[in-house]
Every structure is written in C-alpha cells, then in structure tokens.
Amino acid sequence: AQTVTQSQPEMSVQEAETVTLSCTYDTSESDYYLFWYKQPPSRQMILVIRQEAYKQQNATENRFSVNFQKAAKSFSLKISDSQLGDAAMYFCAYRANAGNMLTFGGGTRLMVKP
Amino acid sequence: DTGVSQNPRHKITKRGQNVTFRCDPISEHNRLYWYRQTLGQGPEFLTYFQNEAQLEKSRLLSDRFSAERPKGSFSTLEIQRTEQGDSAMYLCASSLTADIQYFGAGTRLSVL
C-alpha cells in the first residue's frame, strides 16, 4: 500500500521569505502522480501544483515549485516570496497512474508572519 | 464552473441517528469521490464513482455507510446509526478525467 509522510506538522515563515515543505512517499509503482493541495481554514482544498513521475523536470507554478527526487521518493514544495494568503494547511498527495484514489499525508500547517 | 457544492456545511446529530449528505459535482465531471478527514489529519479515501457506477470502495466504508449517484450527477452519502467516531469532515471531489480532483468545502459532521 502507498503511504505519504509529511514530517513537519507546523512551519513558520516571514512574509516575503522562502519556505520548503517536506514530503516523502512509499510506493512500488513506477508511474504515478504527486500533488500539493492547500486547505485554508474552513475553505475548500485547492490544487497548488502537480508532478508526473515520468517527468524529470520539476514542476513550477508562479511562486510555487517542487523538488522531485524519484529515487529518494521525496517531493518537497518550495514557496518563494511568501504572502499572508499562503497561510493554510498543505497536503501532499499521491495517485498511482492506474488508480483513482488520492493518498494524502498528514499535512503541514504553514504560518506566515507579517 | 460553479465548483463542487456540498450540503449541508455542518450537521449535528445524536448518536444512533441517520444522516445524509449531498454532493453536486462540477457539471460534466463524470468522476466523483468521497473522502473523510478527521481533525488534524489528511483526507482518507472512502469511495469512487464513474458516472452512476460505484467502482471502488475503501475498507473504511463500513456497512453503515452507503453512497449513491443515481443519475451520474449528484451523489449522496448516508451514514446509518451514527457513532461518535463518525465525527469528521466529509469531503467530495470531482474530476473530468483521472487527473486533477476538485474538492468541495465539505460537510462537517458532529455526533453527540
């Protein structure tokens, strides 16, 4: 069974600074997708960024980028120029290419200090 | 797109009562998913529909839980004889393909 681990329950960053959230996963599959979702308080979860395992190039979406290390089964999220609106729970998730369900990590609460 | 809509947003019930939640997916999304999220944890998969067919069920979905998607549009999740351990946020998501799932704001269930 696949597992996703986020080892940082909470992280804090100063506004305009850069922060990296960690995620590791375990799978025997070779073809899969990885995601970072953001869940603001009392609001719906939204997709931040997505990575296809067969692509070596790291995904980037504006201030958000990932460091995907397939051999190490590591998928970290870097947020540059942090903004107050980035404060939320961040979840790392995995989906096998042939599967339908997302497997989530336990989440990291990101606080942004003004 | 109006997004995934879930109703009610919050449900308070007494132990032993039955509850039903509704999810309206993004229009034309033929795939629909239910997840459960307990406080401080990540969501856990419950079940998956493609059109009206329920194709996948988690072991978390005990026989007190039933989900339907009668016409391949909205879906309902019913919990019978609720227990305090059922207290959680129930999330619905939809997708057009197997790729990106779009989530609703969830229904928070509190069992007293």
Closest C-alpha to B16, from B61, B82, B76: B82
pLDDT in tens, B44-83: 999 999 999 999 999 988 899 999 999 889 999 999 999 9
**Listed range (A38-42, A87-91, B83-87) with the worst mean pLDDT:** A38-42
pLDDT in tens, A40-83: 987 899 999 999 999 889 999 999 999 999 999 999 999 999 99
Chain A partners of B33 at a C-beta cutoff of 8 Å? 100-102
Q: How far apart are CA B4 and CA B109, in angstroms?
A: 18
Collapse the DSSP code of B44 into the 3-class scheme (helix H, G, I; strand E, B; otherwise coil) and give the result.
strand
Please report the sign of the dihedral spanned by the C-alpha atoms of residue B62, residue B45, residue B9, residue A90: positive
CB contact under 8 A, A101 and B58: yes
Mean pLDDT of A84-98: 95
Instruction: Give me the pLDDT at residue B97, please.
Output: 84
Q: How far apart are CA A109 and CA B25, in angstroms?
A: 28
In this complex, is the C-beta atom of A28 within 8 Å of any C-beta atom belonging to chain B?
A: no
Q: Cβ contacts of residue B14 below 8 Å, gap of 6+?
A: B82, B111, B112
Closest C-alpha to A33, from A47, A19, A44: A47
- The owner of tokens 């998730």 is A93
In this complex, is the C-beta atom of A109 within 8 Å of any C-beta atom belonging to chain B?
A: no
pLDDT in tens, A17-48: 999 999 999 999 989 999 999 999 878 999 99
Mean pLDDT of A90-106: 94
Instruction: Give me the pLDDT at residue B1, please.
Output: 54
Q: Show which residues on chain B lie within 8 Å of chain A, measured between beta carbons.
A: 3-4, 31, 33, 35, 40-45, 48, 55-56, 58, 91, 98-106
Closest C-alpha to B58, from B94, B83, B34: B34
In this prediction, residue A3 has a pLDDT band, given cuts at 50, 70 and 90, of: very high
Q: What phi-psi label fits residue A107: left (phi over 0), alpha (psi between -120 and 50 degrees) or beta?
A: left
